[in-house]
Amino acid sequence: MARTTETIEVGGRPLSLSNRDKVLWPQDGYTKGDLVAYYLAAASVLLPEVRDRPLTLQRYPDGIDGPSFFEKNAPKHLPDWIPTVTVKSEFGRSDTVRFILCNDEATLAYVANLAAIVLHVWTSRAASLDNPDFLFFDLDPGEGCTLATLARVAVALRDTLGEIGLVPVVKSSGGSGLHVAVPLAPQYTYDFCKGFGELVARTLQGRLPSLTTLQRMPAKRPPGTVYLDYVQIGKGKTLVAPFSVRARAKAPVSMPLGWDEVGAMVRKRAKTTEGEFERFTLKNAPPLLAERAALWGGKSWKQQKLEPALKKAQKAWH
Amino acid sequence: MAHAIWSGAINFGLVTIPVKLQTAIRTNDLRFNFLHKTDEGRINNVRRCSLDGEEVTYDDIVRGYEYEKGRYVILSDDDLKSVNPEATQSVDIVQFVDLAEINPMYFDKPYYLEPDKRGRHAYALLREALKTSGKVGIAKVVIRSREHLAALKPNGDALVLELMHFADEIVDQSTLEFPAQETPLENEMKMAMMLIDTMAAAFDPEQFRDEYRDQVLAMIEARAAGQVIEAAPAKAPRRDNVVNLMDVLQKSLEASKKDRSGGSRTSAKAEAEADEKPKKTAKRKSSAA
């Protein structure tokens, strides 16, 4: 196929898009143009979520079946209107990493044009990079884990957090799992948040010993369990942004969910979890986005404090 | 008052006695639920096809009768309905026979017939007549869409309708080996009779209890009383690492507060410094997926 380039205007900026007919999802026939179109359609709900968060791109230049790479450092020829944040490299050498901040539609279209299918963001924002503004748990179903088990664990996590006064939000990872987040006032260190996440995860694991595991090595996880991942809380660590597309067949997107929806999954009989979450795709998601955004952001996103929660935990969980 | 199985009538000749059919036997079996050993989740039964291994919903299930090995005749609900006897809600007496004539093995399950207000007089009359005659009514009755043979018997103040087996349900004694009738030796017979006499008593059903049930119930009560706290899901078992973790968190929270009141908050500048220790995660995926 001949390389094509066309210029479109996004947010008042001319942007050249290359190869928009390039197929990124061979089974589904979705192209890079579809990816750009989706991200532009999702911009109004996605941008508030990723704004000022260091962004890591997961790029699939040859589509989802080809090689992919993570790109933290902004490309050399980055247009000068795209803001960045420079952070000392986490590898301890003197060099630094210059992250893209995706704060407007044009930037979103720009990264989509790089075939950056998956957008990974930090849990803190540039104004306060050492203080995450949410605590999150990655519920990762292992082999043989049913949808009902995953949902049971998620509901139990919500209830466990509820006991200490914390109100979480939940979204599909876009893959097989769920992300449960507790929005925070950005005033705690990553270390503290990670410790707090560990406290909650261990408490939940004690309650559902046969449905959950804290084993980090996938091979050692008991089959049929949900891995409670709290170790992704840390500076430089990321999660898949809400509304990000995933590089999987059907092009599923990470979608905010209602707790009533997750509760209803407890009674579903699916043997695996993916099918449930594949119903939100790059193609069908756009009309749902406004409604879905209210489940994660907006009024659902209440910045909470951990001191009273810790106090309650000391009483309730002793 | 118990919920009647149906309200209908006893019919014989031109007489109709309005009655309610009531359960007479309570099933006292202990009911257990199957639970998952490790987390006490209720076990669901899954209907699975033996050919393709897929789970099958009730909508996709039909009844098949295996008329020869591996060959089935399919009967639909409608087929069976077409054969079902009409729910006449009546006890239709077809004859009266001497009770002593009926082999007790034919009796299966008793129900009470409770007279309706309008039928009390006729009910009492039928009961007394049966008592006096020593006879029972043989009747046909439909209960839960199946037609049964039954005997109508006086029993105290009640008329009892006792469902009966059909003759072909009773296993023929000739299919098993029993000794033929013989004339026992007189002495042996005397001894056996004496033995029986020493153990003779008036039958008092109250003196027999289902001891297995009593013992299991006692066990259940003890367990329930002793394990309330352990079984309640809201309380997590105490875990020392959780408790220690809370202490650590408390200290770290206090330390960070002191820091904050003394020094400056984290810079609001975009330029920030990583304070992490070197990590060898260079090429590894570092995102929650």
**Mean pLDDT, consecutive 10-residue segments, chain A of 318 residues?**
79 88 95 96 96 95 92 88 86 75 95 96 95 96 92 94 96 96 94 92 91 89 92 90 97 96 89 93 95 92 94 86
**Min Cα–Cα distance to chain A from B245, Å:** 6
B39 contacts A234? CB cut-off 8 A? no
Residue B260: which pLDDT band, with cuts at 50, 70 and 90?
A: low
Residue B139: which pLDDT band, with cuts at 50, 70 and 90?
A: very high
Which residue of B260, B282, B288 is in closest CB contact with A239? B288
Asked if B240 has any chain A CB less than 8 Å from its own CB, the reply is: no
Q: Does residue B239 surpass a pLDDT of 50?
A: yes
Burial class (CB in 10 A: 0-12, 13-18, 19+), B127: buried
**Separation CA A279–CA A270 (nearest Å):** 14
Q: Give chain B's domains with CATH numbers.
A: 6-24+85-168 (2.40.290.10)
**Beta strand A116-122 with A96-101: parallel, antiparallel or unpaired?**
unpaired
**Min Cα–Cα distance to chain A from B60, Å:** 17
Give the number of other CB atoms < 10 A from CB of residue A111: 23
CB pairs under 8 A between A and B: 136
Q: Does residue B275 surpass a pLDDT of 60?
A: no
Q: Does residue B209 surpass a pLDDT of 50?
A: yes
| Per-residue tokens: A143 | 């082999």
3-class SS letters over B220-278: HHHHHHHCHHHHCCCCCCCCHHHHHHHHHHHHHHHHHHHHHHHCCCCCCCCCECCCCCC
Q: Which three-class secondary structure state does DSSP give residue B11?
A: strand
For the complex shown, is ipTM > 0.85? no
**Considering chain B, what is the average pLDDT of its residues?**
79
Given a contact cutoff of 8 angstroms between Cβ atoms, the answer to whether A97 and A219 are in contact is no
What is the per-residue pLDDT for A214?
93
**Min Cα–Cα distance to chain A from B241, Å:** 8
What is the per-residue pLDDT for A115?
95
Q: Does residue B234 surpass a pLDDT of 70?
A: no
A199 contacts B249? CB cut-off 8 A? yes
Which residue of A56, A130, A318 is in closest CB contact with B272? A130
Partners of B252 on chain A (C-beta within 8 Å) are 189, 191-192, 195
- Angle at CA A13, nearest 5°, toward A8 and A15? 40
If you average pLDDT over residues B151-156, what whole number do you get? 95
Residue B229: which pLDDT band, with cuts at 50, 70 and 90?
A: very low
Given a contact cutoff of 8 angstroms between Cβ atoms, the answer to whether A205 and A214 are in contact is yes
For tokens 């929660």, what's the residue?
Answer: A309
B256 contacts A192? CB cut-off 8 A? yes
Q: Which three-class secondary structure state does DSSP give residue A217?
A: coil
Higher pLDDT, A190 or B84: A190
Classify residue A280 as left (phi > 0), alpha (psi -120 to 50) or beta. Answer: beta
Which residue of B234, B270, B276 is in closest CB contact with A235? B276
Given a contact cutoff of 8 angstroms between Cβ atoms, the answer to whether A186 and A304 are in contact is no
What is the per-residue pLDDT for B236?
46
Partners of A86 on chain B (C-beta within 8 Å) are 270-271
Higher pLDDT, B88 or A170: A170
If you average pLDDT over residues B239-245, what whole number do you get? 72
Domain A134-316 belongs in CATH node 3.40.50.1820: no
Given a contact cutoff of 8 angstroms between Cβ atoms, the answer to whether B22 and B111 are in contact is yes
Burial class (CB in 10 A: 0-12, 13-18, 19+), B29: exposed
CATH 3.30.70.3300 in chain A is located at 134-316
Q: Does residue B241 surpass a pLDDT of 80?
A: no
**Separation CA A211–CA A89 (nearest Å):** 38
Partners of B278 on chain A (C-beta within 8 Å) are 90-92
DSSP state letter for A219: G
Which CATH number applies to A5-126? 3.90.920.10
Residue B278: which pLDDT band, with cuts at 50, 70 and 90?
A: very low
Q: For an interface test with B, which of A157, A173, A191, A225 has the most B Cβ atoms less than 10 Å from its Cβ?
A: A191
Residue B212: which pLDDT band, with cuts at 50, 70 and 90?
A: confident
Q: Side-chain half-sphere of B105: how many Cα atoms within 13 Å?
A: 9
- Angle at CA B276, nearest 5°, toward B272 and B281? 110
| Per-residue tokens: B46 | 């899954």
Residue B178: which pLDDT band, with cuts at 50, 70 and 90?
A: confident
Q: Does residue B27 surpass a pLDDT of 90?
A: no
| Per-residue tokens: A181 | 């987040």
Burial class (CB in 10 A: 0-12, 13-18, 19+), A190: buried
Which residue of A126, A195, A318 is in closest CB contact with B270? A126
B273 contacts A318? CB cut-off 8 A? no
Q: For an interface test with B, which of A52, A73, A90 has the most B Cβ atoms less than 10 Å from its Cβ?
A: A90
Q: How much is the pTM?
A: 0.58
What is the per-residue pLDDT for A130?
93
Q: Which residue, A106, A177, A191, A115, is CA-closest to A146?
A: A177
Determine the residue of chain B that is closest to A126 in CA distance: B270
Given a contact cutoff of 8 angstroms between Cβ atoms, the answer to whether B97 and B136 are in contact is yes
B252 contacts A189? CB cut-off 8 A? yes
Which residue of B236, B285, B286 is in closest CB contact with A203? B236
**Min Cα–Cα distance to chain A from B257, Å:** 9
Determine the residue of chain A that is closest to B57 in CA distance: A269
Determine the residue of chain A that is closest to B241 in CA distance: A202
Which residue of B38, B256, B279 is in closest CB contact with A90? B279
B276 contacts A238? CB cut-off 8 A? no
Continuous H helices in chain B: 77-83, 120-133, 186-198, 211-226, 228-231, 240-262
Partners of A238 on chain B (C-beta within 8 Å) are 286-288
CATH 3.90.920.10 in chain A is located at 5-126
Furthest C-alpha separation in chain A: 67
Which residues 37-66 in chain B show a CB within 8 A of chain A?
Answer: 38-39, 55
- C-alpha distances in Å from residue B79, one per residue of B74, B84, B147: 9, 9, 17
If you average pLDDT over residues B248-276, what whole number do you get? 55
Partners of A88 on chain B (C-beta within 8 Å) are 272-274
**Separation CA B98–CA B138 (nearest Å):** 10
If you average pLDDT over residues B173-182, what whole number do you get? 85
Q: Which residue, A147, A170, A183, is CA-closest to A264?
A: A147
